[in-house]
């Protein structure tokens, strides 16, 4: 049976979550809001506009759409300036080996990211050709926890959702995978990702028998 393996990008393939956090902190400062690392967990996987709205809900101050647009632009420019010099050293532990193993067994692979910068990042990391399908923040109307992106990835891979596996570091992403009827595998801390069917601190921590069963078992 051919399966579809869907990889989130930020925090699953590459360690960009710290850059998103750094940039949002600056914007939160402008708005006079405190924004902690703990709170940043809530924003993982969440689109740019929705992330800003989430931060601004922490204050009773009201901001014009013009001001919000300026901050969205500033956040993204800052973010792009941080990621443009990234190297493969920032790939997360074990992810390349897992991608290669999946590729070697003939399954399909998709990227399922909420980021509008996903293609840029894949190009920087020379990973674009690793995926059969790329679904990013430009491909969908609704961001995670809505399952639209993962369902689109399954459709484009021509693999039924129930035969898809999703690797996610975000609470919203795990919820989207579950809502899509896919097998959710959390990559990160169990305390945040307890809704995932399985969870590992990182790909490097993933039990090899578990991985072999996931990839090699043909039924
Ligand atoms: C997700 C990140 O992958 O992409 C979020 O986890 C981010 O933190 C979202 O807000 C949108 O990213 P971008 O690059 O389009 O601002
Ligand atoms: Mg992520």
Fold held by 17-83: DNA polymerase; domain 1 (1.10.150)
pLDDT tens readout for residues 15-33: 999 999 999 999 999 999 9
Looking at ligand 1, which residue's alpha carbon is closest to its atom 1?
45
Separation CA 155–CA 153 (nearest Å): 5
Domain with CATH 1.10.150.240 in the chain: 17-83
User: How far is the centre of ligand 1, averaged over its atoms, from the C-alpha of 117 (Å)?
Assistant: 8
Q: Among residues 47, 188, 20, which one has the least CA distance to residue 113?
A: 47
Domain with CATH 3.40.50.1000 in the chain: 4-15+87-216
Assigned CATH class of 4-15+87-216: alpha beta
Residues at CB less than 6 angstroms from ligand 1: 9-10, 20, 43-48, 51, 76, 113-117, 137, 170
Contact indicator for 196, 168 with CB cutoff of 8 Å:
yes
**pLDDT of the residue at 218:** 60
Q: Catalogue the active-site residues.
A: 8, 10
Q: Which one of 14, 20, 53 would you pick to mutate in the ligand 1 pocket, going by the greatest count of ligand atoms within 8 A of its CB? A: 20
> 97 Cβ partners below 8 Å, 6+ apart?
203
User: How far is the centre of ligand 2, averaged over its atoms, from the C-alpha of 119 (Å)?
Assistant: 15
pLDDT tens readout for residues 76-95: 999 999 999 999 999 999 99
Instruction: Output phi, psi for 182, to 5 deg.
Output: -105, 165
**pLDDT of the residue at 93:** 97
Containing H/E element for 210? helix 208-216
- Mind listing the pLDDT tens digit of every residue in the chain (219 residues)? 899 999 999 999 999 999 999 999 999 999 999 999 999 998 999 999 999 999 999 999 999 999 999 999 999 999 999 999 999 999 999 999 999 999 999 999 999 999 999 999 999 999 999 999 999 999 999 999 999 999 999 999 999 999 999 999 999 999 999 999 999 999 999 999 999 999 999 999 998 999 999 998 665
Contact indicator for 1, 219 with CB cutoff of 8 Å:
yes
User: How far is the centre of ligand 1, averaged over its atoms, from the C-alpha of 115 (Å)?
Assistant: 4
């Amino acid at each position: 049976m051919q399966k579809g393996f869907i990889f989130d990008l930020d925090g699953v393939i590459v360690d960009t979550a710290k850059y998103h956090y750094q940039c949002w902190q600056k914007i939160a400062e402008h708005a006079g809001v405190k924004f902690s690392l703990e709170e940043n967990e809530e924003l993982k996987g969440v689109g740019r506009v929705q992330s800003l709205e989430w931060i601004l809900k922490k204050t009773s101050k009201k901001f014009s759409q013009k001001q919000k647009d300026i901050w969205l632009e500033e956040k993204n420019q800052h973010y792009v300036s941080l990621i443009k010099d990234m190297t493969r050293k920032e790939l997360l532990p074990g992810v390349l080996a897992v991608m290669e193993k999946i590729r070697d067994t003939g399954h399909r692979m998709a990227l399922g990211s909420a980021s509008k910068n996903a293609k840029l990042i894949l190009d920087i990391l020379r990973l674009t050709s690793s995926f059969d399908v790329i679904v990013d923040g430009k491909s969908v109307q609704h961001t995670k926890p809505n399952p639209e992106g993962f369902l689109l990835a399954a459709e484009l891979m021509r693999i039924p959702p129930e035969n898809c596996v999703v690797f996610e570091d975000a609470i919203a992403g795990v919820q989207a995978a579950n809502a899509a009827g896919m097998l959710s595998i959390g990559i990160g801390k169990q305390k945040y990702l307890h809704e995932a069917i399985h969870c590992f601190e990182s790909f490097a921590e993933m039990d090899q028998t578990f991985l072999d069963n996931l990839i090699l078992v043909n039924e």
